[in-house]
A and B are shown apart, each in its own frame.
Chain A
C-alpha cells in the first residue's frame, strides 16, 4: 500500500450488504454505535480489500459486540486485550487488515497497557475507540474519560479523578495517526475511516459517541445541532483552521498557546490563522489541538496527526528475510547440529 492511495486489489466491487452479518444488533435504540457500525460497513467496500482479508477484533464492552455484526473474520476477545489480540494477528499475518473496536473502559482502563504499547509499536492496525465517557455494559460507572465531578453509580459524590484525553495519551504513546469523529456525522466517520485505512501504521480514531442510557449528551455541546458550529472544528490538512456557523472563527497561535479569534475583529484575517499540518513530526500543535475543549475552544475533529514511521511488521519481515539469506541455519536439523557436538 502506498502512502496516499489504497492498493485496490482486483476484486468484484462489494457493497455494504456484503459486510452485514446475520446477527441481530443488540445495542440500545439511539445508541451511537449503530451509526458507527453502519459507517464502517459502508466504507469497507470502498477500501477494495478482499473480504476474507479483513479481521475485526474487540475486547469487552458495548462497542466490543461489533465483530458479531460485521461479516468478516472476527474475534471478540476479553476485557482490555483487543490490542494484544490484534497485534498477534497482524504480526502472524501482515496481509490481513485488522480493525480493532474498543471503548474508553476497554482500552484506557483495563487495557491501557496494551493500548499504549500497540501505538508505540506502530503495527499497521486500525483502532476505533468509541468514547462515551461512561461504562455502559456494566450499567453506569465512571470511566477514565468521565469528567471530574461527574456523578455516576460509583461516584455518588462526583468523580475525584482526572480524565484522560485520548488524543493526548495516544500522541504521547508515539501514536502516528490520531483522528476524531462524532457519531452524529456518518459522512465524517466514513471519510476518517478511509483515511485511517490508508495510513500505514497504527491509526487511532476516537469516536465521540453518545450513550443514551447512562450518559446522555456526554458530548452534547460538540454534537447538538444548536451548539455544534461553535464547539467543533473539522481540521483539514493544508487548510486554515476555521469554524463557526458563519465560518467566521479561527484558531491562531499566540505565543505558545492556541487562541480562538474572530475573523475581521481586531484586524484578524484568514491569513493569520493556523494552517493544519497533520504530517508535522513535532507533536506540539497536535497535542494542543487534541486537548481543545468546549466551551473555551471547539473540539478538534478530523485527522489531527498522521505521520509515517516504520511499522513493526515490516521491519520484522525485513529482519527475517535478511536472516534467511545470511544465517547458515536454515532448518531445525541445522540448528540441532550447530555449535559443539561430538560423535560416539
Chain B
C-alpha cells in the first residue's frame, strides 16, 4: 500500500466480494463493478458463486448469491483467495461469506436487514453487528435500505420498486471507495431501461446516493483507494466467461475450416450456456439441435460430421458418461467431432455448480475397447476460446474425436480478453476428398498423420459405407479378420500418438532445472502461476509446467520432468493426472496434492505446500 496523499491510497490488487440473496442482483452489481474496472484499464478476473437452486429460500444461507472480482494494476491470474472488501446485503450472506474475508478487511452491511427474524433465518444466535464478533474487521454499518428509499424519494415510486435498486446503493459506495467513474453504470441503466426513463432516473439517483453517503461517513476515515491501469498489451479488449469463449472458439473454427457448424447438445449445468450461446448465432450458419438426451446429442453430431459438418457436443461429467458408447463409434468411424466436458463435482449428480478436475480418467479411458482419442484442457476463462479452436483443428485435421476439458470455475468465471482476429488463428484444413477420386477408399490413410479422408455424402463417385463394426484396412469393408483387427487397433492408437508432432512442446515457467517442479493441468493455471511466481521471487528453485495437451502429451514431456529433484502434481481430484504420469513416465517420483471440496486452490495453501516440499530434505 502506497499513500499517494492524505486520503488516496494506491493498491496493486484488490479482491471485492458482493453477496446477497439470490434475488438481490449481486451478479449484476458485480458485472457493473467489473465494467468500471475495465474502463479504468485494470486487469481483472471474476467468479460468480450462486446456489444450485434457482430461488432458494430468501434469507437463508442456502440462498446466498455471490460475485467476486479480483482486479489490479498488476497482472491478474486468479479470482483471488480472500476478499479485501465484502458487501453483505443481508445477514445470511455475511454468515456464509465471512470465512472468505481477509483479517482486517472491510465489511459493508445493510443494517436495515439485520432484524431479529432475519438473524434467526440466517442461523445467527446473536447479532454479529453488536456482539463484537466482527471486531477484527473494518465494519461499515450502512442503513442501505432506508437510504435507498430516501435517495429516490423525489420520484414518488413505490418502496418495493425502489428497494430493488438497493444493490445500486452498495455499488455507489464501492465506486466512491475505489474512485470509479459512474459513467459505465449510467450507460447500462440507459440502455437496459430505455423504455422506462423513471427507472433509469431512480437507479442513477440511488447510485449517487450510495456514492455521496460513502463520501460523508466517517467509517472510512476519508480514505479512498485507486487501482491504476494495468500494463496490458495494446489492443481491443472485452470481458469473457469460459463458456462464451468456448462457444466462440468453436464458431471461429467452423468459419475458418469452411465446414458449417453443427451442435447437438442436451442442457446440463455448468455447460448449458455454450448451447445457449451457439444457438444465438444462426446468422453465422450454426445449426443447433437441442437433443432429447445426451446420447442423441453426440450421435446426431456424429451423423452431422459424416454429412460434412464441423460437429460438436457439449456436456458435463454425467453427460460424458452417457456419451461413452458413441465416442467409441466416433473413434471407430474416424470422424471428427469435438466433445466439450465442462467438469463439475462428481460422481453421479455430485456438486453440479461446483468445480472439479475429476473427469480426466473418464475422458482418457471411459470407453469400451481400445478407443484412444485426443484430450486437451483449457486453463483460463479466455483461453477456452483458443483451446476450443484447437480441439476443432485437431479433430478435423486428424479425423478423430477430441475431448476438450474445461470446468465450472473457468466456465462461469470471467476475465479480460484481448480480442483476436480470426484470420490470425492457425488455418484448419480438413482432408476432404474430391468428387470421383478413383483412388478413394474409406480407410486409406494419410502416410504422415495416419488419418483417413472425409468423403462427404452428396459427392459424386465416393459412395461408401462405414459403421461401428471393425473395418478392413484400406477398403473399409466389415472385417473380423484377426490380424486386421490388430493392424487397425494399432493404426487408431498411432494416429492419436502422432498428433504430438502437430502440437506445441510443453513450456516451463521458470528454469528448466531446479528443486521442485509443479505439474498441473486445466483450470488451476492461474493460481499455480501466482504461487510459483511468488516463490521464484523469493529465490526458490521452483518451476511450473502447466499442461494443456493431455493425450497425447507433448513430445518433450519426459525432458521437462527430468530436470527437477522433486515433482508435485496438485489437482482438484483424488490424483488422476499424477497416475497418468506415473503410467507414462514411471521413472520419476511424483508427490500428490489433492483438494476435493468443490473449491479452487488458494494461492496460500499451494505456497505453503510447495515451501514444505522445498524445505524437506
Q: List residues of A whose CB falls within 8 A of some B CB.
A: 21, 23, 50-53, 55, 57-58, 60, 67-68, 71-78, 81, 83-93, 95-96, 113-114, 117, 316, 319-320, 323-324, 326-327, 329-333, 335-337, 339-344
Contacts and interface: CB of A to CB of B under 8 A. Distances in A.
Nearest to B188: A340
A223 B166 CA distance: 77
A73 B457 contact: yes
8 contacts: A52-B460, A81-B299, A92-B262, A114-B295, A117-B296, A320-B287, A333-B422, A344-B235
A277 to B, nearest CB: 31
Interface string B434-469: 000000000000000000000011111111111111
B458 A95 contact: yes
A323 B282 contact: yes
A341 B238 contact: yes
Contact of A53 (B248, B421, B458, B467): B458
Contacts of B462: 52
Nearest to B252: A332
B195 interface: no
B251 interface: yes
A335 to B, nearest CB: 6
- Most chain B beta-carbon neighbours within 10 Å: one of A50, A67, A89: A89
A73 B463 contact: yes
Nearest to B297: A84
Nearest to A344: B232
A341 B463 contact: no
Contact of A68 (B233, B456, B465): B465
B284 interface: yes
Contact of A337 (B41, B236, B302, B325): B236
Contact of A73 (B229, B284, B464): B464
B463 A52 contact: yes
Q: Label chain B's interface by main secondary structure.
A: mixed
Interface string B217-257: 00000000000010011111111000000001001100100
Given A91-B304, A316-B287, A344-B235, A113 B464 contact: no
Q: Which of B41, B307, B333 has the most CB of A within 10 A?
A: B307
Most chain B C-beta atoms within 10 Å of own C-beta, residue among A71, A77, A90: A77
A86 B303 contact: yes
A283 B283 CA distance: 38
Interface string B100-137: 00000000000000000000000000000000000000
A79 B467 CA distance: 11
Given A55-B307, A88-B309, A340-B239, 14 more contacts: A21-B465, A57-B303, A72-B463, A73-B465, A78-B328, A78-B468, A88-B289, A91-B287, A92-B309, A117-B291, A330-B283, A331-B284, A337-B238, A341-B238
B252 to A, nearest CB: 5
A26 B360 CA distance: 41
Contacts, number: 203
B237 A74 contact: no
Nearest to B300: A88
A337 B264 CA distance: 26
B311 interface: yes
Interface centre among A50, A332, A341 (most CB of B within 10 A): A332
* 3 residue pairs, one from A and one from B, having the closest CB atoms: A76-B467, A88-B303, A88-B300
Given A91-B304, A92-B311, A344-B234, A52 B295 contact: no
Contacts of A72: 463
B28 interface: no
Contacts of B423: 333
A326 B283 CA distance: 8
B230 to A, nearest CB: 8
A205 B307 CA distance: 24
Nearest to A57: B303
A285 to B, nearest CB: 29
B329 A77 contact: yes
A337 B468 contact: no
B557 interface: no
Contact of B468 (A77, A335, A343): A77
Contacts of B457: 52-53, 55, 73, 89, 93, 96
A77 B467 contact: yes
B281 interface: yes
A332 B422 contact: yes
Contacts of A93: 307-309, 456-458
A339 B240 CA distance: 11
Given A68-B465, A73-B463, A93-B307, A84 B291 contact: yes
B260 interface: yes
